[in-house]
A = this chain, B = another copy of it.
């Protein structure tokens, strides 16, 4: 049984277009609002499901843009607070805003940020890892959770493990390293001293904000000013004044990397399975194969497959789908468009919404 962690609040930044998961992921219904694992829960619902036991139903804050606030309210239970960003200013502003608002309300609160659109299996291992991160956070670290690599992925950044932190079940982060080449990734794996960076950060809100003050003082000042006005009648006015000027920067660059260099970041090596659900190859990996070696998602009708090992069929229409002689085919069948690709070409799918957007054709976006 996982139990609520006292003084812990979760922040879910819900942004990102998920253009590699077009056409199921759309502007009006991006990745986090869709079920990409066949669980019956959308990605943000599944994120809520795994955090709620650790925070309690009132301990989760979602940060999102104006376009998706209503859909998130619709998908999540009533107790969830939703902070609306006037415009996207990257993850440091989103997470920093929530941390500053929560710290303003409750000094000493511990916050953890978790993306709205990742998939995790192993609920109790996840809870244990978050618990370990909270312990490290209580000791003044910004703590992250390091995912055990299942292969030499070139799609993720890596965390280089440093020395053990006595009494914490954590290790110091020696460094965050960028997405490596395949050969470098293989070297990392061979050492056993690297973990995937899933972008999960747990810290005392005051520690997080003090770090921000150190590395990005202007951004810190703006967020503190907004937070001070958040629960007052001045919120809108101050947001209008301050938000557009905030620096657009990822939390990794703003805090995690420089603070790790200064020895202030801890990592909990975790055992649960994690996937960023980044593209159709990810989705195919996450879906169970049927007896016919076909992976299905959504309202899939009859599937006919001949010489089509590893096929994945996604549908919102219930139509029959036939695949002949295309290995690792991915077919996404929707009312207005059908996408045909292969798992090994999945990264290129993002080029399609980009091309449509560049032409100003919004009909399929």
Contact = CB atoms under 8 A, between A and B. Distances in A.
Contacts of A340: 321-324, 326, 329, 331, 340
Contacts of A236: none
A1 interface: no
Interface string A290-325: 000000000000101011000000000001111111
Nearest to A339: B322
Interface stretch (A171-179, A263-271, A341-349): A341-349
A289 interface: no
Interface stretch (A32-40, A133-141, A351-359): A351-359
Contact of A345 (B324, B331, B336, B361): B324
A103 interface: no
Interface size class of A (residues with CB under 8 A): 35 or more
B351 A320 contact: no
A71 interface: no
B331 A349 contact: no
Nearest to A334: B319
B341 A304 contact: no
A341 B23 CA distance: 20
Majority SS at the chain A contact face: mixed
A67 interface: no
Contacts of A344: 325
Contacts of A337: 302, 319-322
Contacts of A117: none
A333 interface: yes
Contacts of A319: 335-338
Contacts of A302: 337, 361, 364
A340 to B, nearest CB: 5
Most buried by B among A320, A335, A344: A320
15 contacts: A304-B355, A306-B352, A307-B345, A320-B338, A321-B338, A321-B340, A322-B339, A323-B339, A323-B341, A324-B342, A324-B349, A325-B342, A325-B344, A325-B345, A326-B345
Q: Nearest 5 CB-CB pairs, A to B?
A: A325-B345, A320-B337, A324-B341, A322-B339, A306-B351
